[in-house]
Amino acid sequence: MALSLTVTAQLNSRREIKIPDIPGYLTLKCDLHMHTVFSDGLVWPTVRVDEAWREGLDVIAISDHIEYHPFQEDIQINFGRSYEIAKPRAEMYGLIIIQAAEITRQMPPGHFNCLFLDDVAAIDQPDFWDAIGEAQRQGAFIMWNHPGWRQEDEVPIWYDEHTRLYDQGLMHGMEVVNGRSYYSLALEWCVEKKITMIGTSDIHSPIGMDYDLSLNDQRPVTLVFATDRTEEAVKEALFDGRTAVYSDDMLIGSEEFLNPLFYHSIELVNGDQDFSSGGTFYIQVINRSEIPFHLISNGKPEGVEYPEEITLHAERTVMMPVKLSRNATNNTHGVILLYEVKNLLINKDTGLAVELVIQ
């Protein structure tokens, strides 16, 4: 960025991703898988930083392939070079950039991102296990990328190689979402095996060619719940499994994190209404986040009628009609409306259960 005397283009500005922090943690927005012309991406490394800043990201990892360099006739192979070029620009913006690389093998075992590397070149080993061993020596966070890649109907298969990695404590993370693909079976595995859930763009093109940013179409990100805005805190959170995946209007993660994200996003406004003698009331529900919450009724409290389905639109307030019989409000804790949030997934087919309490 030159020291221009006129700085006006709106495009060159940062839009925050409106998802709240939760108690004890900052909610950092991270994309941990992307490419540049130093492997098979189509942009110069600094572009990845500019894109990330504009889109409200806090953390990125450029993970150029170790074994795949289609442009090597023109661009010499230079491991770690994309990180080196991008880093000063990330610093200018105050973005955290993580040194990374993608080990790129036929399935099985497939592709694996290694994050927090010191020496990318050392990962370039003919044998897959040697490469992984080197990543381990460097203390890398190792994640299985797009597990459904090139499998029938994109359904991932868990091969012996994955068992070996997992048993040796070397499958720290797994992509539940990669670009436009969502792997529900990967989500199940992450829940069962306590593998850190990851969502990434794996972007190769300029981001605007794959996502229509003006229309709120955005890349998948990993929400990392970190104690601090530092690389060290991100690393600790990843190893500790403190993540959720935000993709399209879907939020995927454990109840431990989705629960506070939901309750810190919404607010109920009851006005001065007196519910004690029953009747029809209108409750305003504010959703301050950019995620629309799609609620479906999850049980039938006696004496209370309320919408079977309701969407709490992003950054909007909706009016919810509630009909109470006289005795519905005997409960001293107020009336509780039971819902499941369909697009907040805590497992394959299970949305987060929530309670809206009217007092």
Q: How far is the CB of 318 from its own copies (least distance, A)?
A: 5
Question: Does 46 engage in binding with its own copies (CB under 8 A)?
Answer: yes
150 makes contact with its own copies (CB under 8 A): no
Residue from 163, 168, 205, 325 in contact with its own copies (CB under 8 A): 205
Is residue 153 a contact point for its own copies (CB under 8 A)? no
Site string for its own copies, 270-299 (x = CB under 8 A): -x--------x-x-x-------x-------
Q: Does 93 bind its own copies (CB under 8 A)?
A: yes
Sequence letter at residue 207: I
DSSP H or E segment with residue 166? helix 160-167
SS3 278: coil
Q: Identify which of 261, 260, 278, 255 has the alpha carbon closest to the alpha carbon of residue 358.
A: 278
Q: Tell the residue number behind the tokens 């004690």, with chain if given.
A: 276
Piece in contact with its own copies (CB under 8 A), picked from 58-66, 141-149, 315-323, 331-339: 315-323
Amino acid at 116: F
Q: Is 50 in the site for its own copies (CB under 8 A)?
A: yes
The helix or strand, by DSSP H or E, that contains position 191, with its residue range, turns out to be helix 184-193
Nearer to its own copies, 133 or 303 (CB): 303
How far is 114 from 97, CA to CA, in rounded Å? Answer: 14
Q: State the nearest-atom distance from the C-beta of 300 to its own copies, in Å.
A: 12
| 92/357 with CB nearer its own copies | 92
Please report whether residue 219 would count as binding its own copies according to CB under 8 A.
Answer: no
Tokens, residue 137: 């020596």
Among residues 357, 304, 297, which one has the least CA distance to residue 326? 304
Residue 49 backbone dihedrals phi, psi, to 5 degrees: -75, -45
Among 137, 157, 168, 269, the residue binding its own copies under the rule CB under 8 A is 269
Total of chain residues touching its own copies, rule CB under 8 A: 68
User: Nearest 5°: phi and psi at 22?
Assistant: -125, 165
Q: Does 310 bind its own copies (CB under 8 A)?
A: yes
Helix axes 45-54, 81-93, angle to 10 degrees: 30
**Cα dihedral 293, 296, 300, 304 sign:** positive
Residue ranges that bind its own copies, judged by CB under 8 A: 1-16, 37-38, 42-44, 46-47, 50-51, 54, 71, 74-76, 78, 81, 92-94, 180, 205-215, 269, 271, 280, 282, 284, 292, 305, 307-311, 313, 315-321, 323
